[in-house]
Structures are given as structure tokens and as C-alpha cells.
Structure 1
């Protein structure tokens, strides 16, 4: 059927990969059924107009983002395990902004603007964490207590105009969720729960992420705008050309895309099935072989011979269940095949991705480089279960990579996954340069497979232009 005829018969946004099962069809055939949060769908057609490109390179647009978007949104600043005891602190930077996240007492976490109220010196250097009973300026010695109250001003006699009870460190809003610490500079912002919405809250409350810790943390500088960098991870449309080594066992064009309010979207990309782009070229045995051997393997060498009528997806789910049960000494018989296998990716606006799957729970965070809005600080956090003895390990120290280093060089990074991240990010410098060189003033998006990109940029537009957003 020609694209022209297809376009006449199917309304915009309703088209799906022709003659192929949907993600929900694939999941419905699994031996161990999936929970409601997996089986739900929430797609909405949001238009077919181009997305303007000046947002990726115009310094004035970046300034508007700092003045509007970043000052009004909830952002993942650190994990609770970064500040487990009173006096522990963690510095979170966002462009020109900097915050000290500290635990004042067991149930009291605060975030202070990281600047001395005397002459503005940072109270703690960027990228630092530790434990203290005061925040003291290295320049003139002014200090503040853990609760933000002024402790001491050097030569107090010379500052009769400073009233101690009005000289406490300014704070942002702070809320915690599933072990994450979020901050918001807007004192009138909605609660984090209202901001993320009831659908997502129902999802995240079933994942148990509060019982995980950061086992690996890698940070890399990417030569592209923060939004462009995020969008490289929002769709599976790129898999067939960018990650051909995994396409044999990745149902890229089968993937499901969902949007929730203004601040959350997701995809579910099914694994253990052949890419529709390769239909007829590989067998079920080939799919299993690709997934279990070679550089792209996640399971290493196992028995790879399928029984007659057995699917690669089911063997992979059974194998992963057995592997994780042994590794964690946990009964996973009721955990769905989909949760063990598939890639679940949630965007929490503005700059965080959460991947809650059993096999590869991780978090991505994206921040604009304060020196160049066309550069991004991209971070990957791998989350692992807290040991059975309940003793929570310290979070891993971050590994910093510059823009020319490979993710495979990072200690703790699986080389196969590092190679995939390299493929994702190597395109970005060409995309940033191409957008700036192009005569075309907009990006053209697919109505379904790139709906997360459109949804994300529509929310960016709402903040920058001062429109209302859901949850507020």
C-alpha cells in the first residue's frame, strides 16, 4: 500500500507499523503476565507541525529557559543515599545556579542556594559532598548552621544593618520520592505528586526504587544542546541504523509511546523479538543467539538451543528470571516477563529519564553546560538492589569523561552497553552542526514514534512562553 493511500485511510497519529504486532500484543503472549502499569496505553496525537530549531542554538532562547523553565520545574538533585545522616550534604549545579542539598535531621532535607550572603562566594565547591555542622565561607568566614540560620558574621560590629533573624540562607522547595531528592526554585510550585500526575505516581510506587542504590555513576560532556541530547534517547526509531547490532532482538518499530499530562512520557520497547525492518531475514534461534553471545550479549554463554515451537523471547525471559533469582536470592516467579526483558523509559520533565526494568534499572540526567548552551552534561546512574542484610552501600563516586572519551572507558560500565551509548551520542555533534547549517528552520517528526520529542518540546514552549501547564 502506498504512503499516499495509507495517509488517506488512516487519520494522523493512528498509523502503526503495518502487519506487525503491537507491544501490547507481544506482552499479552508472555507466560507470566504483566501488571496494569505495563498493560496501560496513553497515546495522544499532538499535531504534525515542524519543531523550530532556534531553541537548540539561540543564546536568547537558552536565557529564557533559565529565567522560566528551570526556575519553575521539579528536578532530580541527588539520591537520599548521598545524604544518609544529619550534616551530610551534596552540591547540585544547574547552569549558573548551585544548591547545597543537606539533611538537617532524619526527616528534614533542605536545599540552600549555594552562595554566601555577604559577598556571594560559593559556600561549597561544585561537585562536592561531605558532612559538616556548618556552612562557612572561605573568603571572610561568615557561617551558617545546618538549619540555614546565620551562625557567625566576622566583625559583627561593622554590620549593624544585618539582622541575624533575616539573614538565613534562602531555600528551594524539596520533596522526596522513591529515594530521589527533587528540588524546585518556585515557592508556589505544585507538589511533586501533582506535578508528575496520578498515572505516573501509580507506576513509580510499584517499582521499589527506594530499595536501590547507585552502583555506577558516569558523567560525560556532549557537544550538543541539552534538549537535543535528551531527544536522542526518546525513541526507538533510530535503532535500525544507529544500533544495528541489537536490531535482531529489538522490536524497535513495534515500540509503544505514551504521554501523561505535561511532565511525563514513556516508551516500552519490546526485546526478544525481531525488528520489523528485518522481517523474514532471521529465525527465532537467530534472535536468541544474537541476544546471548558476542559483544551485545547481556547473558553470556547459556544453552542456546530452542525447542521446537519455543520462542526466543520466552527463553530469554526464563533465563533472566533464573539469573536474577540466583544473583539476588529472591523469588521472581511472579515478576512478569515484560518487566524482566523490555526497555521501559520514562521522561520526567525537564531533564530526567527513569528506566525501571528489573534487568537494567538506571537513571539519565541532562543539564546544560553553564559555559556553553550547546553543550550538555549527561549522566548515567545504574541502580542496584540494596543487599539482603539491609546495609546500604555508599553511592558510587562519579566517573567523569570528556567529550572525546568513550563510555567503554568508564570503570563499572558494561562495555557492550558503553558501546551503545557511544553510538547514541556520536550522532549528536553532527546533528547540532547540521541544525545550525540547515536552510530548513524546523525538525519534522513522526506522529507516533517521535511523539515523546513533540510532547517534550511542547512543554518546553509552554514554560518559555509563560503558558499554563498541567499540575499547576
Structure 2
């Protein structure tokens, strides 16, 4: 939608002048899944978002009570618990959940707490394999299926019965190779909670990918502010200006599909609308190739198409999969979905990223940021064992992580610097809230509105 006179439009109708993301994707001349060029936007208001939402300990406590125990959230990948007895401990705030494979095709989850005096059965943030669940304090023991197995000095606990002292279970469901948990026994089925994701990701199945890199970093910001930094391309102009020649930003597409799912798409290989001088296709190609001039652009062709053709062949050979039907957009563009409350999923091959944001223990003003790089599993092969997460402190650079693209590492370092400055400024006097763009920051507003429905419940 081209816009010349914004003052004649209703709130939320304005768009960046020039071709839309949909126009750019269709211009490639490929058949693409209809879900990729679907547009879904709704104006959701323009009130400021109070800074208290990122600093208030009272609000944080309400989230621990009313949000995190009521939502579906992924705890691990299935490859983290491939064999019977394999477990993974997922912590969010003051909640600790033990996920364990109890049979070849059955995964259960329990509150990570002994029914004697409450000690954690397995350490926080741990992964391993066991034949039973034994408390390290007094030795109370449960079978993998949660049934009570042994109590030392059982004669001293006449009130304890096997039936009443099975480990309390947490709801578990699987999708896309992820293991999701929900502490609410009355929670809606995961398939319903996911809204459009199963239909859209049928084109890009995540269960046929494996974890190649896992980075876990402490961010100096509230978990909501931390994830909002990744919800829009509006910040590219100032924060990631090195990308302006190869990534459109102001004309990115933003979609809200329901209360819990949203998306943005911004194209790669197309210059930013902010650039005032024309950029040649040769210059775009040079920058996309990191300064290498080893490719030619045919007459009338584009750098985007040339790089896409190269990636289609090179990545297809590297991953031993057929990418011949993948369009330039599916190969290269940043196609990022959000699942409330804390997950971002990219569908592409060159940006195969999964993000998760959660509170760092009970600290209101820091967060744990997980990045998974998911590579395709070669045809006919099993997923390799997942790597141990590389753990970074606030001041550690992503450039130290082996296997993480240096360009992405630079981007993440730039984002982290912004977050610390933003979180500190939330406490300043003066204007007391965020003023959001109606279109480019709609995903942030949608997240807060959905959060409010849980906090009011």
C-alpha cells in the first residue's frame, strides 16, 4: 500500500511508501506458500505502555502467579530426551519442571520437588539420564512414571500412601520437535493454543531439524523488554545500520493472527527504503557476499536471485536435502513468528533461529535469552545429539561462540547494549511510558494485551 497523505488515513492504516513485502516476495517470480503472502493486521489502540510493566516487583509477582503457570511454553527439544530415563529441567522464575522420557514414545513432566520436604529432585537447568528419581536429601524415590518406589524408614510415615504420593504431573505436549509444558491442568490443548503455527509451519517442518548451536545469555532487561527488541525491524536504521544496503526494514510486514501468534517478514537482498541514493545490484551482491566478487549478475537479474540460487545449491548439498522448490524468500528472508508468551521461531534456512526469553530467577530486571540454531536433518539420518548451551554473562560477546555466524553475533551484541541502556532509563522521571508505532510495533502491543488477559484472570 503506497501512502502519500498519512493525515487522511485512520490509525494503523499508514505504510511505508513504495513496494510492500508482499510485492517484493511476489516479484521474485516463484510460487510461494499462500501463508507467506497472507496479510493480517488490526489496529489495537495507541495508549502508552507504562514503564512500570518492566520494573514493578508487584507486577512481576503477578506474572509468576497468573501467567507462567497458565501458558504453554517449550521446555526442551525432543532430542534432549531421546532415550527412556533421559531428563531435562526447565526453570522459569520460581517454577522448576522436570521433563523425562518414561517410555519409547511417552514424555512426562513433574514439578521438580520431593514430596517429603520439597528438595529439588534434579538440579536446576540440568540434563541427564536416570533409572529412578531419587531425592538427594533423604532418599525418597519414585519410578520414572511418577509412582512412589521407596521411602527410608517407611514405618515412620503412616499417613503416606502410594496412591497419594505419586509425583504431581504437569501437562505435556509436543509440536515441531519441541516439548511443551503447561502447569494448568485445565489448559486448552496445545494444538488450539498454537493458532496458525501448525498450518504455516507445515511448509517448514521444525521437527526435521536439529540443534546445531545453543547459546544462553543473561540480558540486562526485563524479559518483556528483552523480547520486544526482536519484535520489529524499526530499530535496524539506527542499531544495525550496517544492514541497510542488504535488508529492507521500514517496509517490513507485520501480522497479528490471534491473541497468541504474530509474525514479521523483512526481506534480504533489497536495500532499505531509508537510503536516498540508488544502490546497484553489484553493490548489493558484494555486500551480501561479504566483499567477495565471485559471482556475476545476469542482464536484468538481481543480487537477491543470484544469492538465492547459490544458497539453494550449496545448502542443499551441505544438508543433503532438496531445496529446489524453496523460493528466495523462504531461503533468505527473516520470517519470524511469535508464540505468546516468550518464543520466536524463524522458518527459514539461512536464519534458522529459535529464541526464548524468560525471567532470570526472580530478578525483575534481567532475563535468560536462549538462541537455538536449527539445521535441517539430512534425509534418512537421525538428529545428532544436541550441544551443551554456551552460557554468556551480560558483558560476554556473542563473537566468542563457535558456530554462530559472526554477522549475527555482531547484531546480538548491538541489541544487548541497547537493552541495558533502556532498562536503566525505565527508572528515570519524566515521560513514564513507551509510545509505540501503530504498525511496526503492533506485535509488542498485542503481547501486552494478551498478558493483561492473564493478569486479570
**Which interval holds the TM-score relative to the shorter structure?**
over 0.9
Is 1:430 paired with 2:415?
no
CA distance in 1 between counterparts of 2:193 and 2:63 reads 18
RMSD of aligned alpha carbons:
1.4
Q: Alpha-carbon deviation of 1:302?
A: 5.5
Q: Which moved more, 1:433-442 or 1:214-223?
A: 433-442
Alignment-derived partner of residue 356 in structure 2: 365
Alignment-derived partner of residue 119 in structure 1: 117
Is 1:181 paired with 2:179?
yes
**1:17-416 correspondence runs (5 A):** 17-18=16-17, 20-197=18-195, 199-294=196-291, 301=292, 303-416=294-407
CA distance in 1 between counterparts of 2:117 and 2:131 reads 22
CA distance in 2 between counterparts of 1:330 and 1:195 reads 31
Equivalent pair of 1:248/1:282 in contact (CA under 8 Å): yes
SS in 2 for 1:253: coil
CA distance in 1 between counterparts of 2:415 and 2:213 reads 19
**Deviation above 3 Å: which 4+ runs of structure 1?**
none
For structure 2, which runs of at least 5 residues remain unmatched after alignment? none
CA distance in 2 between counterparts of 1:320 and 1:425 reads 30
CA shift in 2, pair 1:438/1:313, >3 Å: farther
For structure 1, which runs of at least 5 residues remain unmatched after alignment? 295-300, 467-472
CA distance in 2 between counterparts of 1:203 and 1:302 reads 36
Encode CA deviations 1:49-87: one digit per residue, 9 max, x unaligned: 111210100000000001101111000100000001111
Q: How many residues align?
A: 455
CA distance in 1 between counterparts of 2:328 and 2:29 reads 7
Encode CA deviations 1:301-359: one digit per residue, 9 max, x unaligned: 46243233221221121121122122123332211121011101111111111011021
CA distance in 2 between counterparts of 1:71 and 1:458 reads 18
Equivalent pair of 2:321/2:379 in contact (CA under 8 Å): no
Equivalent pair of 2:253/2:266 in contact (CA under 8 Å): yes
Is 1:459 paired with 2:450?
yes
CA distance in 2 between counterparts of 1:251 and 1:438 reads 35
Q: Which moved more, 1:200-209 or 1:124-133?
A: 200-209
SS in 1 for 2:427: helix
SS in 1 for 2:454: helix
Equivalent pair of 2:249/2:273 in contact (CA under 8 Å): yes
| TM-score in terms of structure 1 length | 0.94
SS in 2 for 1:353: strand
Q: Alpha-carbon deviation of 1:415?
A: 1.7
CA shift in 2, pair 1:463/1:435, >3 Å: same
Q: Alpha-carbon deviation of 1:246?
A: 1.1
Equivalent pair of 2:44/2:442 in contact (CA under 8 Å): yes
Q: Alpha-carbon deviation of 1:207?
A: 1.4
